[in-house]
Structure 1
Protein backbone atom coordinates (compact mmCIF):
# COMPACT_ATOMS: atom_id res chain seq x y z
CA UNK A 1 0.00 0.00 0.00
CA UNK A 2 2.90 2.38 0.73
CA UNK A 3 4.37 1.71 -2.72
CA UNK A 4 0.95 2.22 -4.32
CA UNK A 5 0.50 5.60 -2.62
CA UNK A 6 4.02 6.64 -3.53
CA UNK A 7 3.62 5.76 -7.21
CA UNK A 8 0.17 7.34 -7.43
CA UNK A 9 1.41 10.55 -5.80
CA UNK A 10 4.34 10.80 -8.21
CA UNK A 11 2.08 10.31 -11.23
CA UNK A 12 -0.61 12.74 -10.04
CA UNK A 13 1.90 15.48 -9.14
CA UNK A 14 3.58 15.21 -12.53
CA UNK A 15 0.17 15.05 -14.23
CA UNK A 16 -0.90 18.27 -12.50
CA UNK A 17 2.27 20.12 -13.49
CA UNK A 18 2.16 18.99 -17.13
CA UNK A 19 -1.57 19.74 -17.43
CA UNK A 20 -1.13 23.22 -15.96
CA UNK A 21 1.65 24.05 -18.43
CA UNK A 22 -0.28 22.71 -21.44
CA UNK A 23 -3.45 24.50 -20.35
CA UNK A 24 -1.65 27.84 -20.05
CA UNK A 25 -0.07 27.42 -23.49
CA UNK A 26 -3.31 26.49 -25.25
CA UNK A 27 -5.48 29.07 -23.49
CA UNK A 28 -2.91 31.80 -24.11
CA UNK A 29 -3.04 31.17 -27.84
CA UNK A 30 -6.83 31.17 -27.89
CA UNK A 31 -7.01 34.25 -25.65
CA UNK A 32 -4.72 36.17 -28.01
CA UNK A 33 -7.09 35.31 -30.86
CA UNK A 34 -10.13 36.61 -28.97
CA UNK A 35 -8.15 39.63 -27.80
CA UNK A 36 -7.37 40.52 -31.42
CA UNK A 37 -11.08 40.36 -32.23
CA UNK A 38 -11.82 42.62 -29.25
CA UNK A 39 -9.18 45.09 -30.45
CA UNK A 40 -10.92 45.19 -33.83
CA UNK A 41 -14.24 45.96 -32.16
CA UNK A 42 -15.72 42.56 -33.04
CA UNK A 43 -15.96 41.37 -29.42
CA UNK A 44 -16.79 43.22 -26.25
CA UNK A 45 -13.64 43.08 -24.05
CA UNK A 46 -15.85 42.44 -21.04
CA UNK A 47 -16.80 38.93 -22.23
CA UNK A 48 -13.28 37.65 -22.96
CA UNK A 49 -12.65 35.99 -19.59
CA UNK A 50 -16.20 34.64 -19.55
CA UNK A 51 -15.63 32.96 -22.92
CA UNK A 52 -12.30 31.50 -21.79
CA UNK A 53 -13.92 30.13 -18.63
CA UNK A 54 -16.61 28.35 -20.63
CA UNK A 55 -14.06 26.98 -23.11
CA UNK A 56 -11.81 25.56 -20.37
CA UNK A 57 -13.69 22.20 -20.00
CA UNK A 58 -13.28 21.63 -23.75
CA UNK A 59 -9.55 22.23 -23.47
CA UNK A 60 -9.15 20.05 -20.38
CA UNK A 61 -10.89 17.04 -21.90
CA UNK A 62 -8.09 16.83 -24.47
CA UNK A 63 -5.22 17.98 -22.25
CA UNK A 64 -5.79 15.57 -19.34
CA UNK A 65 -5.15 12.32 -21.30
CA UNK A 66 -1.94 13.80 -22.70
CA UNK A 67 -1.00 15.07 -19.24
CA UNK A 68 -1.45 11.59 -17.75
CA UNK A 69 0.54 10.02 -20.58
CA UNK A 70 3.46 12.41 -20.08
CA UNK A 71 3.07 12.23 -16.30
CA UNK A 72 3.60 8.47 -16.29
CA UNK A 73 6.53 8.72 -18.69
CA UNK A 74 8.29 11.41 -16.64
CA UNK A 75 7.46 10.06 -13.16
CA UNK A 76 8.36 6.44 -13.83
CA UNK A 77 11.31 7.49 -15.99
CA UNK A 78 12.77 9.31 -12.99
CA UNK A 79 12.26 6.23 -10.85
CA UNK A 80 14.11 4.09 -13.38
CA UNK A 81 16.87 6.70 -13.63
CA UNK A 82 17.33 6.79 -9.84
CA UNK A 83 17.26 2.97 -9.72
CA UNK A 84 14.20 3.07 -7.45
CA UNK A 85 12.28 0.92 -9.91
CA UNK A 86 15.15 -1.58 -9.91
CA UNK A 87 14.77 -1.93 -6.14
CA UNK A 88 11.01 -2.35 -6.51
CA UNK A 89 11.55 -5.01 -9.19
CA UNK A 90 13.86 -6.89 -6.85
CA UNK A 91 11.05 -7.00 -4.28
CA UNK A 92 8.59 -8.48 -6.81
CA UNK A 93 7.27 -5.43 -8.68
CA UNK A 94 6.49 -6.71 -12.19
CA UNK A 95 5.33 -4.68 -15.18
CA UNK A 96 1.83 -6.12 -14.80
CA UNK A 97 1.65 -5.13 -11.14
CA UNK A 98 2.96 -1.66 -11.97
CA UNK A 99 0.24 -1.45 -14.61
CA UNK A 100 -2.43 -2.30 -12.03
CA UNK A 101 -1.11 0.40 -9.70
CA UNK A 102 -1.19 2.90 -12.57
CA UNK A 103 -4.83 2.17 -13.33
CA UNK A 104 -5.98 3.91 -10.13
CA UNK A 105 -4.83 7.43 -11.14
CA UNK A 106 -5.96 6.56 -14.68
CA UNK A 107 -9.45 5.80 -13.35
CA UNK A 108 -9.58 9.17 -11.59
CA UNK A 109 -8.54 10.98 -14.77
CA UNK A 110 -10.95 8.92 -16.91
CA UNK A 111 -13.90 9.79 -14.65
CA UNK A 112 -12.93 13.47 -14.76
CA UNK A 113 -12.58 13.39 -18.56
CA UNK A 114 -15.95 11.61 -18.86
CA UNK A 115 -17.58 14.31 -16.73
CA UNK A 116 -16.01 17.00 -18.88
CA UNK A 117 -16.75 15.43 -22.27
CA UNK A 118 -20.29 14.29 -21.44
CA UNK A 119 -21.48 17.25 -19.42
CA UNK A 120 -19.39 20.34 -18.80
CA UNK A 121 -17.81 20.75 -22.25
CA UNK A 122 -21.13 20.74 -24.21
CA UNK A 123 -22.65 23.15 -21.68
CA UNK A 124 -19.63 25.43 -21.99
CA UNK A 125 -19.80 25.39 -25.79
CA UNK A 126 -23.52 26.24 -25.62
CA UNK A 127 -22.80 29.20 -23.35
CA UNK A 128 -19.99 30.41 -25.65
CA UNK A 129 -22.33 30.15 -28.64
CA UNK A 130 -24.94 32.18 -26.78
CA UNK A 131 -22.41 34.89 -25.92
CA UNK A 132 -21.08 35.04 -29.47
CA UNK A 133 -24.62 35.23 -30.86
CA UNK A 134 -25.20 38.22 -28.62
CA UNK A 135 -21.99 39.74 -29.93
CA UNK A 136 -23.16 39.15 -33.50
CA UNK A 137 -26.22 41.24 -32.73
CA UNK A 138 -23.99 44.21 -31.93
CA UNK A 139 -23.12 46.81 -34.52
CA UNK A 140 -19.97 48.80 -35.09
CA UNK A 141 -21.58 51.56 -33.01
CA UNK A 142 -21.95 49.26 -30.00
CA UNK A 143 -18.30 48.20 -30.00
CA UNK A 144 -16.66 51.60 -30.48
CA UNK A 145 -14.06 52.66 -27.94
CA UNK A 146 -13.28 56.40 -27.69
CA UNK A 147 -9.80 57.41 -28.76
CA UNK A 148 -9.05 54.17 -30.63
CA UNK A 149 -8.89 53.40 -34.34
CA UNK A 150 -10.92 50.22 -34.91
CA UNK A 151 -10.78 48.06 -38.02
CA UNK A 152 -14.03 46.57 -39.32
CA UNK A 153 -15.27 44.67 -42.38
CA UNK A 154 -12.08 42.61 -42.73
CA UNK A 155 -9.93 45.73 -42.51
CA UNK A 156 -11.73 47.66 -45.27
CA UNK A 157 -13.19 50.18 -42.79
CA UNK A 158 -11.44 52.08 -40.01
CA UNK A 159 -13.51 54.04 -37.51
CA UNK A 160 -12.44 56.55 -34.85
CA UNK A 161 -14.39 58.69 -32.40
CA UNK A 162 -12.90 61.22 -30.05
CA UNK A 163 -15.69 61.05 -27.49
CA UNK A 164 -18.70 58.85 -26.74
CA UNK A 165 -21.59 59.52 -24.36
CA UNK A 166 -22.27 57.11 -21.50
CA UNK A 167 -25.46 55.82 -23.12
CA UNK A 168 -23.53 55.39 -26.41
CA UNK A 169 -26.04 57.57 -28.23
CA UNK A 170 -23.85 60.56 -29.15
CA UNK A 171 -20.39 60.67 -30.72
CA UNK A 172 -17.97 63.55 -31.17
CA UNK A 173 -14.94 64.04 -33.42
CA UNK A 174 -15.70 61.23 -35.89
CA UNK A 175 -13.35 59.82 -38.55
CA UNK A 176 -14.32 56.96 -40.92
CA UNK A 177 -12.11 55.58 -43.70
CA UNK A 178 -13.73 53.08 -46.07
CA UNK A 179 -12.23 51.33 -49.09
CA UNK A 180 -14.35 51.59 -52.21
CA UNK A 181 -14.58 48.38 -54.23
CA UNK A 182 -15.69 47.74 -57.78
CA UNK A 183 -19.13 46.30 -58.41
CA UNK A 184 -17.60 42.84 -58.72
CA UNK A 185 -16.01 43.39 -55.30
CA UNK A 186 -12.55 42.25 -56.39
CA UNK A 187 -10.77 45.56 -57.07
CA UNK A 188 -10.29 48.69 -55.01
CA UNK A 189 -11.52 51.94 -56.49
CA UNK A 190 -9.94 54.18 -53.88
CA UNK A 191 -11.00 55.28 -50.44
CA UNK A 192 -13.70 57.43 -48.92
CA UNK A 193 -12.92 59.45 -45.81
CA UNK A 194 -15.67 60.92 -43.65
CA UNK A 195 -15.08 63.43 -40.88
CA UNK A 196 -17.77 65.01 -38.74
CA UNK A 197 -18.16 67.09 -35.64
CA UNK A 198 -20.74 64.75 -34.08
CA UNK A 199 -23.00 61.82 -34.82
CA UNK A 200 -25.86 59.71 -33.50
CA UNK A 201 -27.37 56.30 -34.10
CA UNK A 202 -30.68 55.91 -35.90
CA UNK A 203 -32.64 52.64 -36.20
CA UNK A 204 -34.89 52.15 -39.25
CA UNK A 205 -38.17 50.23 -39.34
CA UNK A 206 -36.48 47.20 -40.96
CA UNK A 207 -33.99 46.95 -38.08
CA UNK A 208 -31.01 48.37 -39.97
CA UNK A 209 -28.94 50.95 -38.11
CA UNK A 210 -27.37 54.11 -39.44
CA UNK A 211 -24.82 56.48 -38.03
CA UNK A 212 -26.10 59.99 -38.76
CA UNK A 213 -23.19 62.40 -39.11
CA UNK A 214 -23.57 66.14 -38.80
CA UNK A 215 -21.41 69.05 -39.98
CA UNK A 216 -18.60 67.30 -41.80
CA UNK A 217 -16.81 66.49 -45.04
CA UNK A 218 -16.47 63.51 -47.36
CA UNK A 219 -13.30 62.95 -49.39
CA UNK A 220 -13.19 60.43 -52.27
CA UNK A 221 -10.13 59.51 -54.26
CA UNK A 222 -7.07 57.31 -54.77
CA UNK A 223 -3.99 57.62 -52.55
CA UNK A 224 -1.08 59.17 -54.43
CA UNK A 225 -3.27 60.77 -57.09
CA UNK A 226 -4.55 64.34 -57.33
CA UNK A 227 -8.14 63.43 -58.18
CA UNK A 228 -9.78 63.78 -54.78
CA UNK A 229 -13.36 64.99 -54.55
CA UNK A 230 -14.48 66.96 -51.49
CA UNK A 231 -18.10 67.24 -50.37
CA UNK A 232 -19.34 69.26 -47.43
CA UNK A 233 -22.52 68.08 -45.77
CA UNK A 234 -24.83 69.04 -42.95
CA UNK A 235 -26.27 65.53 -42.45
CA UNK A 236 -24.92 62.23 -43.76
CA UNK A 237 -26.05 58.65 -43.03
CA UNK A 238 -23.65 55.68 -42.82
CA UNK A 239 -24.95 52.10 -42.63
CA UNK A 240 -23.49 50.31 -39.61
CA UNK A 241 -22.32 46.76 -40.48
CA UNK A 242 -22.69 43.95 -37.99
CA UNK A 243 -19.37 42.53 -36.74
CA UNK A 244 -18.80 38.93 -37.74
CA UNK A 245 -17.51 36.83 -34.84
CA UNK A 246 -15.53 33.70 -35.62
CA UNK A 247 -16.99 31.22 -33.13
CA UNK A 248 -14.57 28.41 -34.07
CA UNK A 249 -17.07 25.86 -32.71
CA UNK A 250 -19.58 23.54 -34.37
CA UNK A 251 -23.23 23.33 -33.49
CA UNK A 252 -23.11 19.64 -32.55
CA UNK A 253 -20.49 20.29 -29.86
CA UNK A 254 -23.17 22.14 -27.87
CA UNK A 255 -25.76 19.33 -28.07
CA UNK A 256 -26.33 17.61 -24.70
CA UNK A 257 -25.15 14.01 -24.58
CA UNK A 258 -28.64 12.79 -23.70
CA UNK A 259 -29.90 14.07 -27.06
CA UNK A 260 -27.11 12.32 -28.96
CA UNK A 261 -27.98 8.88 -27.58
CA UNK A 262 -30.23 7.03 -30.00
CA UNK A 263 -29.93 9.63 -32.76
CA UNK A 264 -29.89 8.38 -36.37
CA UNK A 265 -27.89 11.39 -37.54
CA UNK A 266 -24.38 10.34 -38.58
CA UNK A 267 -22.80 13.52 -37.23
CA UNK A 268 -24.57 13.05 -33.90
CA UNK A 269 -23.39 9.43 -33.70
CA UNK A 270 -19.87 10.57 -34.52
CA UNK A 271 -20.00 13.21 -31.77
CA UNK A 272 -21.29 10.65 -29.23
CA UNK A 273 -18.54 8.18 -30.09
CA UNK A 274 -15.96 10.96 -29.82
CA UNK A 275 -17.15 11.87 -26.33
CA UNK A 276 -17.07 8.21 -25.28
CA UNK A 277 -13.62 7.79 -26.84
CA UNK A 278 -11.93 10.36 -24.62
CA UNK A 279 -12.33 8.43 -21.31
CA UNK A 280 -11.39 5.22 -23.12
CA UNK A 281 -8.33 6.99 -24.49
CA UNK A 282 -7.10 7.52 -20.92
CA UNK A 283 -6.87 3.78 -20.15
CA UNK A 284 -5.22 2.88 -23.46
CA UNK A 285 -2.54 5.60 -23.22
CA UNK A 286 -1.85 4.40 -19.66
CA UNK A 287 -1.36 0.89 -21.03
CA UNK A 288 1.16 2.25 -23.53
CA UNK A 289 2.89 4.68 -21.16
CA UNK A 290 3.86 2.14 -18.47
CA UNK A 291 6.16 -0.02 -20.68
CA UNK A 292 7.39 3.04 -22.61
CA UNK A 293 8.55 4.65 -19.35
CA UNK A 294 11.05 1.85 -18.78
CA UNK A 295 14.53 3.21 -19.55
CA UNK A 296 18.10 2.25 -18.83
CA UNK A 297 19.67 4.64 -16.27
CA UNK A 298 22.64 5.10 -18.58
CA UNK A 299 20.37 6.16 -21.46
CA UNK A 300 18.49 8.95 -19.69
CA UNK A 301 14.81 9.44 -18.92
CA UNK A 302 14.05 11.26 -22.18
CA UNK A 303 15.22 8.50 -24.55
CA UNK A 304 11.72 7.16 -25.23
CA UNK A 305 9.89 10.45 -24.72
CA UNK A 306 9.93 11.55 -28.37
CA UNK A 307 8.83 8.15 -29.80
CA UNK A 308 6.13 7.98 -27.13
CA UNK A 309 4.79 11.45 -28.02
CA UNK A 310 4.80 10.51 -31.72
CA UNK A 311 2.84 7.36 -30.88
CA UNK A 312 0.30 9.42 -28.91
CA UNK A 313 0.00 11.93 -31.76
CA UNK A 314 -0.58 9.09 -34.23
CA UNK A 315 -3.35 7.73 -31.96
CA UNK A 316 -5.09 11.10 -31.70
CA UNK A 317 -4.63 11.91 -35.40
CA UNK A 318 -6.11 8.55 -36.41
CA UNK A 319 -9.06 9.14 -34.10
CA UNK A 320 -9.71 12.55 -35.67
CA UNK A 321 -9.40 11.11 -39.18
CA UNK A 322 -11.81 8.29 -38.32
CA UNK A 323 -14.23 10.84 -36.89
CA UNK A 324 -14.15 12.80 -40.14
CA UNK A 325 -14.69 9.62 -42.17
CA UNK A 326 -17.62 8.67 -39.94
CA UNK A 327 -19.14 12.13 -40.47
CA UNK A 328 -19.05 11.59 -44.23
CA UNK A 329 -20.45 8.06 -44.06
CA UNK A 330 -17.24 6.35 -45.22
CA UNK A 331 -17.16 4.20 -42.06
CA UNK A 332 -20.25 2.37 -40.74
CA UNK A 333 -21.38 3.57 -37.28
CA UNK A 334 -21.01 0.07 -35.86
CA UNK A 335 -17.30 0.20 -36.64
CA UNK A 336 -17.04 3.91 -35.87
CA UNK A 337 -13.99 4.92 -33.85
CA UNK A 338 -13.67 1.61 -32.01
CA UNK A 339 -11.26 0.07 -34.52
CA UNK A 340 -8.73 2.81 -33.74
CA UNK A 341 -8.92 1.99 -30.02
CA UNK A 342 -8.55 -1.70 -30.89
CA UNK A 343 -5.32 -1.07 -32.83
CA UNK A 344 -3.67 0.90 -30.06
CA UNK A 345 -4.97 -1.46 -27.39
CA UNK A 346 -3.12 -4.24 -29.22
CA UNK A 347 -0.01 -2.03 -29.40
CA UNK A 348 -0.24 -1.35 -25.67
CA UNK A 349 -0.57 -5.05 -24.83
CA UNK A 350 2.35 -5.86 -27.11
CA UNK A 351 4.53 -3.25 -25.40
CA UNK A 352 3.50 -4.48 -21.96
CA UNK A 353 4.19 -8.17 -22.59
CA UNK A 354 7.02 -7.86 -25.10
CA UNK A 355 9.83 -7.78 -22.54
CA UNK A 356 8.59 -10.77 -20.46
CA UNK A 357 7.97 -12.78 -23.64
CA UNK A 358 11.42 -11.88 -25.00
CA UNK A 359 13.08 -12.97 -21.75
CA UNK A 360 11.02 -16.17 -21.72
CA UNK A 361 12.00 -17.02 -25.29
CA UNK A 362 15.66 -16.21 -24.58
CA UNK A 363 15.74 -18.44 -21.49
CA UNK A 364 14.02 -21.24 -23.41
CA UNK A 365 16.57 -20.96 -26.22
CA UNK A 366 19.43 -21.05 -23.72
CA UNK A 367 17.90 -24.11 -22.08
CA UNK A 368 17.59 -25.88 -25.42
CA UNK A 369 21.21 -25.12 -26.27
CA UNK A 370 22.35 -26.42 -22.90
CA UNK A 371 20.30 -29.59 -23.39
CA UNK A 372 21.96 -30.20 -26.76
CA UNK A 373 25.38 -29.68 -25.19
Structure 2
Protein backbone atom coordinates (compact mmCIF):
# COMPACT_ATOMS: atom_id res chain seq x y z
CA UNK A 1 0.00 0.00 0.00
CA UNK A 2 1.93 2.99 -1.27
CA UNK A 3 1.77 6.06 -3.47
CA UNK A 4 4.11 7.05 -6.24
CA UNK A 5 4.47 10.71 -7.21
CA UNK A 6 5.91 11.72 -10.58
CA UNK A 7 6.46 15.26 -11.81
CA UNK A 8 8.19 18.52 -10.93
CA UNK A 9 7.31 20.84 -8.12
CA UNK A 10 7.84 23.98 -10.23
CA UNK A 11 5.21 23.08 -12.83
CA UNK A 12 2.79 21.62 -10.31
CA UNK A 13 2.10 18.88 -12.83
CA UNK A 14 2.01 15.61 -10.93
CA UNK A 15 0.94 12.10 -11.63
CA UNK A 16 -0.02 10.19 -8.52
CA UNK A 17 -0.24 6.42 -8.61
CA UNK A 18 -1.73 4.33 -5.82
CA UNK A 19 -0.80 0.66 -5.67
CA UNK A 20 -0.91 -2.35 -3.41
CA UNK A 21 1.87 -4.38 -5.06
CA UNK A 22 4.57 -2.95 -7.30
CA UNK A 23 6.23 -5.18 -9.85
CA UNK A 24 8.66 -4.54 -12.67
CA UNK A 25 9.39 -6.82 -15.58
CA UNK A 26 13.05 -7.39 -16.37
CA UNK A 27 13.69 -8.73 -19.84
CA UNK A 28 16.64 -11.10 -20.28
CA UNK A 29 19.54 -9.81 -22.34
CA UNK A 30 19.46 -11.06 -25.90
CA UNK A 31 22.78 -12.25 -27.31
CA UNK A 32 23.88 -12.65 -30.89
CA UNK A 33 24.88 -16.13 -31.95
CA UNK A 34 28.34 -14.93 -33.05
CA UNK A 35 28.96 -12.87 -29.93
CA UNK A 36 31.88 -13.48 -27.55
CA UNK A 37 29.59 -12.65 -24.63
CA UNK A 38 27.95 -16.08 -24.80
CA UNK A 39 31.05 -17.76 -23.39
CA UNK A 40 32.17 -16.74 -19.93
CA UNK A 41 35.92 -17.22 -20.32
CA UNK A 42 36.55 -16.94 -16.59
CA UNK A 43 34.58 -20.15 -16.06
CA UNK A 44 36.49 -22.21 -18.65
CA UNK A 45 39.32 -24.57 -17.82
CA UNK A 46 42.85 -23.94 -19.05
CA UNK A 47 42.58 -26.57 -21.78
CA UNK A 48 39.25 -25.15 -22.98
CA UNK A 49 40.76 -21.67 -23.07
CA UNK A 50 43.65 -22.99 -25.16
CA UNK A 51 41.21 -24.50 -27.66
CA UNK A 52 38.97 -21.41 -27.87
CA UNK A 53 40.33 -18.90 -30.36
CA UNK A 54 38.57 -15.69 -29.34
CA UNK A 55 40.54 -12.63 -28.13
CA UNK A 56 38.98 -12.82 -24.65
CA UNK A 57 39.83 -16.51 -24.31
CA UNK A 58 43.43 -16.00 -25.43
CA UNK A 59 43.86 -13.06 -23.05
CA UNK A 60 42.45 -15.11 -20.17
CA UNK A 61 44.69 -18.08 -21.07
CA UNK A 62 47.88 -16.00 -21.02
CA UNK A 63 46.73 -14.16 -17.89
CA UNK A 64 46.40 -17.49 -16.06
CA UNK A 65 49.82 -18.59 -17.30
CA UNK A 66 51.26 -15.31 -16.04
CA UNK A 67 49.69 -15.88 -12.63
CA UNK A 68 51.34 -19.31 -12.47
CA UNK A 69 54.71 -17.99 -13.64
CA UNK A 70 54.60 -14.92 -11.39
CA UNK A 71 54.97 -16.84 -8.13
CA UNK A 72 58.44 -18.33 -8.78
CA UNK A 73 59.45 -15.28 -10.83
CA UNK A 74 58.68 -12.84 -8.02
CA UNK A 75 60.37 -15.13 -5.48
CA UNK A 76 63.50 -15.22 -7.68
CA UNK A 77 63.33 -11.44 -8.08
CA UNK A 78 63.07 -10.57 -4.38
CA UNK A 79 66.01 -12.68 -3.22
CA UNK A 80 68.61 -9.98 -4.03
CA UNK A 81 66.25 -7.25 -2.82
CA UNK A 82 65.93 -8.92 0.59
CA UNK A 83 69.62 -8.43 1.41
CA UNK A 84 70.06 -5.36 3.58
CA UNK A 85 72.93 -3.53 5.15
CA UNK A 86 73.11 -3.31 8.94
CA UNK A 87 73.18 0.47 8.57
CA UNK A 88 70.06 0.41 6.42
CA UNK A 89 66.78 -0.49 7.94
CA UNK A 90 65.18 -3.86 7.49
CA UNK A 91 62.60 -2.26 5.27
CA UNK A 92 65.00 -0.36 2.99
CA UNK A 93 64.50 -2.71 0.04
CA UNK A 94 60.73 -3.08 0.34
CA UNK A 95 59.91 -0.02 -1.77
CA UNK A 96 61.81 -1.19 -4.89
CA UNK A 97 60.34 -4.69 -4.53
CA UNK A 98 56.81 -3.31 -4.17
CA UNK A 99 57.27 -1.03 -7.17
CA UNK A 100 58.58 -3.90 -9.32
CA UNK A 101 55.65 -6.08 -8.23
CA UNK A 102 53.12 -3.30 -8.88
CA UNK A 103 54.50 -2.51 -12.34
CA UNK A 104 54.49 -6.21 -13.25
CA UNK A 105 50.84 -6.76 -12.41
CA UNK A 106 49.66 -3.43 -13.80
CA UNK A 107 51.35 -4.23 -17.11
CA UNK A 108 49.91 -7.74 -17.13
CA UNK A 109 46.38 -6.56 -16.32
CA UNK A 110 46.45 -3.79 -18.93
CA UNK A 111 47.67 -6.27 -21.54
CA UNK A 112 44.87 -8.64 -20.55
CA UNK A 113 42.28 -5.89 -20.95
CA UNK A 114 43.62 -4.69 -24.31
CA UNK A 115 44.13 -8.22 -25.63
CA UNK A 116 40.57 -9.11 -24.66
CA UNK A 117 39.37 -6.29 -26.91
CA UNK A 118 41.58 -7.52 -29.75
CA UNK A 119 44.03 -4.60 -29.69
CA UNK A 120 47.15 -6.59 -28.76
CA UNK A 121 48.59 -10.04 -29.31
CA UNK A 122 48.56 -11.53 -25.79
CA UNK A 123 51.13 -14.24 -26.52
CA UNK A 124 53.79 -11.78 -27.60
CA UNK A 125 53.29 -9.25 -24.81
CA UNK A 126 52.97 -11.73 -21.96
CA UNK A 127 56.18 -13.40 -23.08
CA UNK A 128 57.92 -10.02 -23.28
CA UNK A 129 56.86 -9.07 -19.74
CA UNK A 130 57.78 -12.41 -18.19
CA UNK A 131 61.07 -12.67 -20.08
CA UNK A 132 61.97 -9.07 -19.20
CA UNK A 133 61.35 -9.64 -15.51
CA UNK A 134 63.25 -12.94 -15.63
CA UNK A 135 66.29 -11.17 -17.16
CA UNK A 136 66.00 -8.45 -14.51
CA UNK A 137 65.91 -11.13 -11.80
CA UNK A 138 69.04 -12.79 -13.23
CA UNK A 139 70.85 -9.45 -13.36
CA UNK A 140 69.89 -8.62 -9.77
CA UNK A 141 70.91 -12.08 -8.55
CA UNK A 142 74.28 -11.90 -10.32
CA UNK A 143 74.96 -8.27 -9.38
CA UNK A 144 76.94 -9.00 -6.26
CA UNK A 145 78.94 -12.08 -7.26
CA UNK A 146 82.70 -12.11 -7.74
CA UNK A 147 82.66 -11.91 -11.55
CA UNK A 148 80.38 -8.87 -11.58
CA UNK A 149 82.45 -7.12 -8.89
CA UNK A 150 85.60 -7.57 -10.98
CA UNK A 151 83.79 -6.41 -14.10
CA UNK A 152 82.42 -3.29 -12.37
CA UNK A 153 85.84 -2.54 -10.84
CA UNK A 154 87.48 -2.89 -14.24
CA UNK A 155 85.12 -0.38 -15.87
CA UNK A 156 85.18 2.03 -12.94
CA UNK A 157 89.02 2.03 -12.83
CA UNK A 158 89.40 2.73 -16.56
Shorter-chain TM-score tier: 0.7 to 0.9
- Give CA deviations for 1:176-223 in whole Å, capped at 9, x if unaligned: 5x463xxxxxxxx24xxxxxxxxxxxxxxxxxxxxxxxxxxxxxxx3x
Q: Larger relative CO (CA 8 A, sep 6+): 1 or 2?
A: 2
Structure 2: where are the runs of 5+ without partners? Answer: 27-38
Check 1:265–1:358 CA distance in 2 against 1; reply closer, same or farther (3 A cut). same
Alignment partner of 1:361 out of 122, 128, 151:
151
- Which of the pair has more CA radius of gyration? 1
Could you tell me whether the CA contact under 8 Å between 2:63 and 2:112 is conserved in 1?
yes
Distance in 2 of aligned mates of 1:226 and 1:325: 51
Equivalent position to 1:269, from 23, 47, 58: 58
Q: Tell me which of 127, 134, 141 is aligned to 1:338.
A: 127
Deviations 1:129-181 (A, max 9, x none): xxxxxxxxxxxxxxxxxxxxxxxxxxxxxxxxxxxxxxxxxxxxx445x463x
Give the superposition deviation at 1:345: 0.9
Contact 2:5/2:14 (8 A) holds in 1: no
Residue 324 (str. 1) matches residue 113 (str. 2): yes
Unaligned runs of at least 5 residues, structure 1: 1-173, 181-188, 191-221, 244-249
> What is the distance in 2 between the residues matched to 1:325 and 1:274?
12
The answer on whether the counterparts of 1:295 and 1:303 sit within 8 Å (CA) in structure 2 is yes
SS at 1:306's partner residue?
helix
Counterpart of 1:254 (choices 29, 40, 43) is 43
- Matched residue, 1:349: 138
| 1:162-201 pair list within 5 angstroms | 174-175=1-2, 178=4, 180=6, 189-190=7-8
Please state if 1:303 is matched with 2:92.
yes
Distance 1:179 1:343, change over 3 A: farther
TM-score normalised to structure 1 length: 0.34
Tell me the TM-score normalized by structure 2.
0.73
Contact residue 291 and residue 351 of structure 1 kept, 8 A:
yes
State the alpha-carbon separation in 2 of the partners of residues 340 and 363 from structure 1.
31
Q: Which digits, 9 at most, give the CA deviation of each residue in 1:51-76, with x for residues without a partner? A: xxxxxxxxxxxxxxxxxxxxxxxxxx
Query: Given the superposition, is the C-alpha separation of residues 330 and 226 from structure 1 closer, same or farther in structure 2, using an over 3 Å criterion?
Result: closer
Query: 1:229 Cα shift?
Result: 8.0
Equivalent pairs counted in the alignment come to 145
2:73 pairs with 271, 275, 284, which one? 284
Matched with 2:24 is 241
State how far apart, in whole Å, the 2-side matches of 1:325 and 1:255 are.
20
